[in-house]
Structure 1
């Protein structure tokens, strides 16, 4: 499915569905502060069930980079939509791939291109990288994207900078809030097709 067809399919159906009944918001109490948002991102980037064209294969992941949305097709005509951060303009990944590897708390090592572009940030990690853990820039989970059996060096991964969601800031990878990438990781199988527009 090409980008135009996919985007058209989104425009022809109501996107957001809800499994929760409509409830009137309670009146604000002057002595109770409003609850802080769960994630430091715009609510539109929270996980949201949406309707899509029924012919999109179940299990597929589709990323619409200029909208900062990742769609995981969960059933015919249904998807879970997440917010993502994408690559800077010159580094955006586009194309088709498959999930070729899945890792919990992945280790990280910058690519030679990253070191060359910004040695002050990345040179110290060029040899040994960084072990997985809460301070690792790949976050809690990573889905490694492969093309023709080869690692593309592009990942769908968590982040230590959740406020970057909804922005073009990365070195090409697709970042998600750690809670969201864990949910995606738990439902995505090896070999899942991924298309990034």
Structure 2
């Protein structure tokens, strides 16, 4: 009996040892160290019965495997986007900018701007240096010469920052104008005209002209005294033709601005004269024409163009100025002024013929629906009031630049 009991006890103990040995390995084959909490718990549960528990009850606790290269949910930090100063590779320029920033921090703006200008002079033609923010600050300064302002603006445009430069200029010019000071009118006009040059489409150009137009109407296209218009005292023997030539303008412009009813002038009378170099620009893509005086925006209007893109592009000059022109159609009788069939309207500004272009110019039209469309034989059409204004302003020899 003792022998049988001993054999039974040995079998039970041996089986338990075997089961414990097996369970030293996890289900995934990884060893479990003796004394591990899982090993202790599993052993205790197996000692309750000699039968192994159902597989579902084992519910092994897996030890997570750690691969050598592991993709986790942690987002690695992206490289920081460098500020303009950080893109500078030149230690000398970096030093100038750092010193300038210290001056700005102390409120010494003049010294800071001086160092910004020095940095710009060294870096303006380098592609590895981005001084956009510094140039925008330089544009805000009041003491910039026109040449430097144009360099700053050109720098921004070349780097795709033309819109920033435009908004900066528009805001700057408008703020000067809103001061309401007559001695600031010329400066405001200059700044706003610079914004117009930066404009890349009709919407932006209209934004500028919506500000400039009323200012010009009040101070130039009126009879009021204004610092934007010169006053000329007529001397004995003077005539409008001679005065107009002296100021690079036209008799018609003097008559319009001075409120004269004819070309007859009297000694000691005073005339309003707008002298300077005129230039005409036409943007075919926007059906827009504008006139500048010494680079400042003077007038702007919508136009009609040649059908099938026949209005030529390039540089031209005004050779013919004619009021109430007769229209000479090839193979047909001349069409007199005022005839509804006369497509030239009340004014004709003919371009000098070139090797590739002839018979082209700017003229009026009675067909108002043709403005903003391609419907002419190649000429530029304008509404009556617009073409008569342009005609009065521009003398012979005025350059015309047509682009698309």
* TM-score, normalized by the shorter chain, greater than 0.5: yes
After superposition, residues 172-183 of structure 1 pair within 5 angstroms as 172-183=378-389
| Structure 2 gap ranges (5+) | 1-161, 163-193, 216-275
How far apart are the structure 1 equivalents of 2:362 and 2:373?
A: 15
Work out whether residues 134 and 140 of structure 1, in 8 Å CA contact, stay in contact via their aligned partners in 2.
Answer: no
Q: In structure 1, what is the equivalent of residue 188 of structure 2?
A: none
Q: In structure 2, what is the equivalent of residue 43 of structure 1?
A: none
Higher share of residues assigned strand: 1
Runs of 4+ in 1 over 3 A off after TM superposition: 5-8, 11-14, 18-21, 147-151
Pick closer, same or farther for the CA change 1:19–1:158 going to 2, 3 Å. closer
Q: TM-score, normalising length from structure 1?
A: 0.64
Q: In structure 2, what is the equivalent of residue 122 of structure 1?
A: none
- The structure, 1 or 2, with the larger RCO (C-alpha pairs under 8 Å, 6+ apart) is 1
3-state secondary structure, aligned to 1:15? helix
After superposition, residues 144-183 of structure 1 pair within 5 angstroms as 144-147=350-353, 152-183=358-389
Q: In structure 1, what is the equivalent of residue 208 of structure 2?
A: 15
**CA-to-partner distance for each residue in 1:4-42, whole Å, 9 max, x for gaps?**
x99972249862224649xxxxxxxxxxxxxxxxxxxxx
Work out whether residues 144 and 151 of structure 1, in 8 Å CA contact, stay in contact via their aligned partners in 2.
Answer: no
Q: In structure 1, what is the equivalent of residue 344 of structure 2?
A: 138
Pick closer, same or farther for the CA change 1:156–1:19 going to 2, 3 Å. closer
Pick closer, same or farther for the CA change 1:164–1:19 going to 2, 3 Å. closer
Aligned length: 145
How far apart are the structure 2 equivalents of 1:19 and 1:83?
A: 14
C-alpha displacement of 1:162? 1.4
Q: TM-score, normalising length from structure 2?
A: 0.32
How far apart are the structure 2 equivalents of 1:148 and 1:172?
A: 15
Pick closer, same or farther for the CA change 1:138–1:20 going to 2, 3 Å. closer
Q: Which has the larger radius of gyration?
A: 2
How far apart are the structure 2 equivalents of 1:97 and 1:19?
A: 26
Q: In structure 2, what is the equivalent of residue 194 of structure 1?
A: 400
C-alpha displacement of 1:131? 1.3
1:105 aligns with 2:324: yes
Work out whether residues 106 and 133 of structure 1, in 8 Å CA contact, stay in contact via their aligned partners in 2.
Answer: no
Pick closer, same or farther for the CA change 1:77–1:108 going to 2, 3 Å. same
1:129 aligns with 2:129: no
| Structure 1 gap ranges (5+) | 22-56, 112-125
Work out whether residues 97 and 193 of structure 1, in 8 Å CA contact, stay in contact via their aligned partners in 2.
Answer: yes
C-alpha displacement of 1:168? 1.1
C-alpha displacement of 1:74? 2.8
Please, what is the CA RMSD of the aligned residues? Answer: 3.1
Q: In structure 2, what is the equivalent of residue 78 of structure 1?
A: 297
Pick closer, same or farther for the CA change 1:67–1:19 going to 2, 3 Å. closer
Higher share of residues assigned helix: 2
**CA-to-partner distance for each residue in 1:67-115, whole Å, 9 max, x for gaps?**
000111034332311110001124222111110001111011234xxxx
